[in-house]
Amino acid sequence: MLNIAITGGIGSGKTCVTEIIRSHGFTVIDADAMSREMTSSGGKAMPYIREKFGPEYILEDGSLDRARMRDLVFRDPAKKALLEEGTTRAVLEDIEAIKKDRERAGEKAVFYDIPLLFETGTEGDYDAVWVVTADYRTRAARIMERDGIDEGMIDLIMGSQENEESGKAKADLVICNNGTMDELEQAVENENALSSYGLLG
């Protein structure tokens, strides 16, 4: 079974890429969705967050106050590392279990959407790494439209992530997503991507 990691900075369009991959019948494991589940009401990361950050970062329903936490961690690298210690590590452990389950199920390939792949140093755990990129203006516009956060916070978030050029240098495939959905679909399906692994047709 092929294990292929997909990563890229915020607003690069990883979700669009994974939607195309899903349309071809492949399983995509979303690390962000796993993290959100862990930080929802009753999530397994919530005791850790309460202990390390205090009840002021927990909403009345018992879930993480994401806006308040985001404002904290992207202004304080030490707090960001502390949060990731209790969430990212747990996600990575769960991903390893998923790999084994999917292999036993006989799947041909499984894709993993992991925004912090390079930051965690786990890129070597996959058969291939695909990096999705887009220029700054395109990414910022997408983020502001999707999340409603200001450009100052976007700069902080982007600054906390792996340098794009460094990430591209580590990639087996770079998918540029500055254009249309049709262009993106062609890039995902072309001879360098799904087709090159014998996953189409």
pLDDT tens for 35-50 read 999 999 999 999 999 9
Tokens read off for 19: 């939607």
The sign one gets for the Cα dihedral 18, 20, 21, 27 is positive
At residue 46, the pLDDT reads 95
Provide Rg for the chain, Cα atoms: 17
**Surface-to-core class of residue 38, CB atoms within 10 Å of its CB (0-12 exposed, 13-18 middle, 19+ buried):** buried
Q: Residue 141 pLDDT > 80, yes or no?
A: no
Answer CATH for 2-194 from 3.40.50.300, 3.40.50.150, 3.40.50.2300, 3.90.25.10: 3.40.50.300
pLDDT greater at residue 190 or residue 125: 125
φ, ψ (nearest 5 deg) of residue 6: -120, 125
Q: What's this model's pTM, rounded to 2 decimal places?
A: 0.81
Q: What is the pLDDT of residue 143?
A: 76
Residue-range domain boundaries for the chain: 2-194
